[in-house]
Structure 1
Amino acid sequence: METPRHLHGVYPCGLQEEKLQSPAVFPKDREGGGSAIPNTRSAARQLRKSLRRRRRNDLRRSAIRYWRKQILKLISEGNREEALRIFPNYQKAVDKAASHGAIHKNKADRLKARMWRRITAT
Protein backbone atom coordinates (compact mmCIF):
# COMPACT_ATOMS: atom_id res chain seq x y z
CA MET A 1 0.00 0.00 0.00
CA GLU A 2 1.32 3.42 -0.92
CA THR A 3 1.82 6.04 1.78
CA PRO A 4 -0.67 8.91 1.52
CA ARG A 5 0.89 12.08 0.16
CA HIS A 6 0.39 14.11 3.32
CA LEU A 7 2.24 11.49 5.40
CA HIS A 8 5.55 11.45 3.50
CA GLY A 9 8.37 12.29 5.91
CA VAL A 10 6.19 11.62 8.96
CA TYR A 11 7.28 9.07 11.55
CA PRO A 12 4.89 6.58 13.18
CA CYS A 13 4.36 8.99 16.05
CA GLY A 14 3.32 11.80 13.68
CA LEU A 15 6.47 13.91 14.14
CA GLN A 16 7.75 15.66 11.01
CA GLU A 17 11.15 14.71 9.61
CA GLU A 18 12.39 18.33 9.50
CA LYS A 19 11.86 18.77 13.23
CA LEU A 20 14.23 15.93 14.05
CA GLN A 21 17.43 17.43 12.65
CA SER A 22 18.91 18.46 16.02
CA PRO A 23 22.17 16.71 16.99
CA ALA A 24 20.58 16.03 20.37
CA VAL A 25 18.06 13.80 18.60
CA PHE A 26 20.46 11.75 16.52
CA PRO A 27 23.41 10.68 18.69
CA LYS A 28 26.08 8.42 17.26
CA ASP A 29 25.01 4.80 17.19
CA ARG A 30 26.05 2.89 20.26
CA GLU A 31 26.57 -0.80 20.69
CA GLY A 32 23.29 -2.55 21.16
CA GLY A 33 21.47 -0.33 18.69
CA GLY A 34 18.71 1.98 19.79
CA SER A 35 17.17 4.96 18.10
CA ALA A 36 16.38 8.49 19.18
CA ILE A 37 13.29 8.61 17.00
CA PRO A 38 10.21 8.56 19.23
CA ASN A 39 7.71 5.78 18.64
CA THR A 40 4.62 7.33 20.19
CA ARG A 41 2.97 10.74 20.10
CA SER A 42 3.63 11.27 23.79
CA ALA A 43 7.32 10.43 23.33
CA ALA A 44 7.51 12.92 20.46
CA ARG A 45 5.88 15.57 22.65
CA GLN A 46 8.33 14.85 25.46
CA LEU A 47 11.23 15.09 23.01
CA ARG A 48 10.06 18.51 21.80
CA LYS A 49 9.55 19.68 25.39
CA SER A 50 12.99 18.50 26.47
CA LEU A 51 14.64 20.26 23.52
CA ARG A 52 12.78 23.50 24.34
CA ARG A 53 13.80 23.24 27.99
CA ARG A 54 17.39 22.53 27.02
CA ARG A 55 17.52 25.66 24.83
CA ARG A 56 16.03 27.77 27.64
CA ASN A 57 18.45 26.38 30.22
CA ASP A 58 21.38 26.97 27.86
CA LEU A 59 20.32 30.61 27.52
CA ARG A 60 20.05 31.01 31.27
CA ARG A 61 23.50 29.51 31.83
CA SER A 62 25.02 31.62 29.07
CA ALA A 63 23.63 34.77 30.75
CA ILE A 64 25.55 33.77 33.88
CA ARG A 65 28.73 33.31 31.83
CA TYR A 66 28.24 36.67 30.11
CA TRP A 67 27.91 38.65 33.35
CA ARG A 68 30.74 36.66 34.95
CA LYS A 69 33.09 37.56 32.10
CA GLN A 70 32.07 41.22 32.29
CA ILE A 71 32.77 41.39 36.02
CA LEU A 72 36.08 39.52 35.77
CA LYS A 73 37.21 41.83 32.98
CA LEU A 74 36.41 44.88 35.12
CA ILE A 75 38.21 43.37 38.12
CA SER A 76 41.32 42.67 36.03
CA GLU A 77 41.25 46.30 34.84
CA GLY A 78 40.97 47.44 38.46
CA ASN A 79 37.54 49.02 37.97
CA ARG A 80 35.96 47.84 41.24
CA GLU A 81 33.14 50.43 41.30
CA GLU A 82 31.87 49.40 37.88
CA ALA A 83 32.09 45.72 38.87
CA LEU A 84 30.01 46.49 41.97
CA ARG A 85 27.51 48.36 39.80
CA ILE A 86 26.87 45.39 37.48
CA PHE A 87 27.04 42.71 40.20
CA PRO A 88 23.21 42.83 40.67
CA ASN A 89 22.83 41.80 37.01
CA TYR A 90 25.01 38.76 37.71
CA GLN A 91 22.99 37.97 40.84
CA LYS A 92 19.75 38.25 38.90
CA ALA A 93 20.98 35.90 36.16
CA VAL A 94 22.19 33.34 38.72
CA ASP A 95 18.98 33.50 40.76
CA LYS A 96 16.81 33.19 37.67
CA ALA A 97 18.74 30.12 36.50
CA ALA A 98 18.41 28.55 39.95
CA SER A 99 14.70 29.31 40.28
CA HIS A 100 14.00 27.67 36.91
CA GLY A 101 16.17 24.63 37.63
CA ALA A 102 18.98 25.32 35.15
CA ILE A 103 21.44 25.18 38.06
CA HIS A 104 21.10 23.99 41.65
CA LYS A 105 20.19 26.50 44.38
CA ASN A 106 23.35 25.72 46.36
CA LYS A 107 25.49 26.27 43.27
CA ALA A 108 23.80 29.63 42.74
CA ASP A 109 24.63 30.67 46.30
CA ARG A 110 28.20 29.48 45.89
CA LEU A 111 28.67 31.37 42.60
CA LYS A 112 27.35 34.60 44.08
CA ALA A 113 29.49 34.30 47.23
CA ARG A 114 32.67 33.60 45.26
CA MET A 115 32.06 36.49 42.89
CA TRP A 116 31.31 38.84 45.79
CA ARG A 117 34.58 37.84 47.47
CA ARG A 118 36.51 38.48 44.27
CA ILE A 119 34.96 41.92 43.82
CA THR A 120 35.51 43.03 47.40
CA ALA A 121 39.05 41.60 47.55
CA THR A 122 40.30 44.03 44.91
Structure 2
Amino acid sequence: MEQIKVDYIDIGEDVSTVILEKNKEDLMNVKAGARILVDSDHFAFVYILEDTEHFYSLRFEQDCWLALLEAHQKEMAFFAEVSENTRLALVDFNEELAFLLDNIQGNGNYGEAFEKAVGAVFY
Protein backbone atom coordinates (compact mmCIF):
# COMPACT_ATOMS: atom_id res chain seq x y z
CA MET A 1 0.00 0.00 0.00
CA GLU A 2 1.48 3.31 -1.06
CA GLN A 3 1.48 5.90 1.70
CA ILE A 4 0.75 9.54 0.91
CA LYS A 5 1.24 12.15 3.62
CA VAL A 6 -1.24 14.97 3.97
CA ASP A 7 0.73 18.23 3.93
CA TYR A 8 -2.10 20.41 5.26
CA ILE A 9 -5.85 20.95 5.14
CA ASP A 10 -7.18 24.08 3.45
CA ILE A 11 -10.43 24.96 5.22
CA GLY A 12 -12.78 26.89 2.96
CA GLU A 13 -16.27 28.21 3.58
CA ASP A 14 -18.07 25.00 2.64
CA VAL A 15 -15.43 22.33 2.06
CA SER A 16 -12.02 21.30 3.27
CA THR A 17 -9.38 20.48 0.71
CA VAL A 18 -6.70 18.00 1.72
CA ILE A 19 -3.41 19.07 0.20
CA LEU A 20 -1.03 16.19 -0.35
CA GLU A 21 2.70 16.39 0.21
CA LYS A 22 2.95 16.31 -3.56
CA ASN A 23 0.34 15.95 -6.28
CA LYS A 24 -0.10 12.36 -7.35
CA GLU A 25 -1.00 11.97 -11.00
CA ASP A 26 -1.28 8.20 -10.44
CA LEU A 27 -4.32 8.91 -8.22
CA MET A 28 -6.39 10.19 -11.14
CA ASN A 29 -8.34 6.90 -11.36
CA VAL A 30 -8.74 6.08 -7.69
CA LYS A 31 -11.95 6.03 -5.75
CA ALA A 32 -12.60 6.74 -2.12
CA GLY A 33 -12.46 3.68 0.10
CA ALA A 34 -14.94 5.25 2.53
CA ARG A 35 -13.00 4.07 5.57
CA ILE A 36 -10.45 5.43 8.00
CA LEU A 37 -7.97 3.29 9.91
CA VAL A 38 -5.45 4.33 12.52
CA ASP A 39 -1.71 3.92 12.72
CA SER A 40 -1.40 4.14 16.48
CA ASP A 41 2.35 3.45 16.38
CA HIS A 42 3.01 6.51 14.21
CA PHE A 43 0.08 8.64 15.41
CA ALA A 44 -1.90 8.98 12.19
CA PHE A 45 -5.41 8.60 10.87
CA VAL A 46 -5.31 6.81 7.53
CA TYR A 47 -7.98 7.26 4.85
CA ILE A 48 -8.03 4.48 2.25
CA LEU A 49 -8.16 5.08 -1.50
CA GLU A 50 -8.25 2.30 -4.07
CA ASP A 51 -8.16 1.53 -7.75
CA THR A 52 -8.54 -1.78 -9.54
CA GLU A 53 -5.03 -2.92 -8.62
CA HIS A 54 -3.79 -0.95 -5.60
CA PHE A 55 -4.65 0.57 -2.27
CA TYR A 56 -3.32 3.95 -1.17
CA SER A 57 -3.33 5.47 2.29
CA LEU A 58 -3.74 9.19 2.95
CA ARG A 59 -1.92 9.78 6.22
CA PHE A 60 -3.30 12.50 8.49
CA GLU A 61 -0.42 12.86 10.93
CA GLN A 62 -0.40 14.94 14.11
CA ASP A 63 0.77 18.12 12.42
CA CYS A 64 -2.62 18.48 10.69
CA TRP A 65 -4.90 17.29 13.53
CA LEU A 66 -5.97 20.78 14.63
CA ALA A 67 -7.19 21.61 11.11
CA LEU A 68 -8.76 18.15 10.91
CA LEU A 69 -10.64 18.87 14.14
CA GLU A 70 -11.83 22.29 12.94
CA ALA A 71 -13.17 20.94 9.65
CA HIS A 72 -14.72 17.92 11.35
CA GLN A 73 -16.50 20.07 13.94
CA LYS A 74 -17.95 22.18 11.12
CA GLU A 75 -19.06 18.94 9.39
CA MET A 76 -17.41 20.06 6.18
CA ALA A 77 -17.03 17.80 3.19
CA PHE A 78 -13.45 16.64 2.63
CA PHE A 79 -11.78 16.54 -0.79
CA ALA A 80 -8.24 15.48 -1.67
CA GLU A 81 -6.44 17.51 -4.30
CA VAL A 82 -4.88 14.84 -6.50
CA SER A 83 -3.71 17.22 -9.23
CA GLU A 84 -3.84 20.93 -9.91
CA ASN A 85 -7.32 20.64 -11.42
CA THR A 86 -8.72 17.50 -9.82
CA ARG A 87 -10.23 16.90 -6.41
CA LEU A 88 -11.51 13.59 -5.07
CA ALA A 89 -14.37 13.47 -2.55
CA LEU A 90 -13.35 11.58 0.59
CA VAL A 91 -16.63 9.73 1.02
CA ASP A 92 -17.92 9.17 4.59
CA PHE A 93 -14.90 10.95 6.06
CA ASN A 94 -16.74 12.68 8.91
CA GLU A 95 -18.75 9.59 9.82
CA GLU A 96 -15.67 7.38 9.88
CA LEU A 97 -13.67 9.89 11.93
CA ALA A 98 -16.51 10.32 14.43
CA PHE A 99 -16.76 6.55 14.84
CA LEU A 100 -13.02 6.25 15.48
CA LEU A 101 -12.93 9.16 17.92
CA ASP A 102 -15.77 7.60 19.91
CA ASN A 103 -13.99 4.26 19.87
CA ILE A 104 -10.54 5.58 20.82
CA GLN A 105 -11.67 7.50 23.89
CA GLY A 106 -10.99 5.32 26.94
CA ASN A 107 -9.91 2.37 24.79
CA GLY A 108 -6.46 1.05 25.68
CA ASN A 109 -6.35 -1.13 22.57
CA TYR A 110 -4.95 1.81 20.60
CA GLY A 111 -2.11 2.31 23.06
CA GLU A 112 -2.00 4.77 25.91
CA ALA A 113 0.26 7.26 24.12
CA PHE A 114 -1.96 7.40 21.02
CA GLU A 115 -5.12 7.68 23.11
CA LYS A 116 -3.61 10.60 25.06
CA ALA A 117 -2.42 12.35 21.88
CA VAL A 118 -5.86 12.05 20.29
CA GLY A 119 -7.51 13.18 23.52
CA ALA A 120 -5.31 16.28 23.76
CA VAL A 121 -6.59 17.48 20.39
CA PHE A 122 -10.06 16.03 19.84
CA TYR A 123 -11.69 15.88 23.32
- Tell me if TM exceeds 0.5: no
Kindly indicate which of the two structures has a greater share of residues assigned to strand. Answer: 2
Q: Which has the larger radius of gyration?
A: 1
Task: Tell me the TM-score normalised to structure 2 length.
Answer: 0.25
Task: Tell me the TM-score normalised to structure 1 length.
Answer: 0.25
Kindly indicate which of the two structures has a greater share of residues assigned to helix. Answer: 1
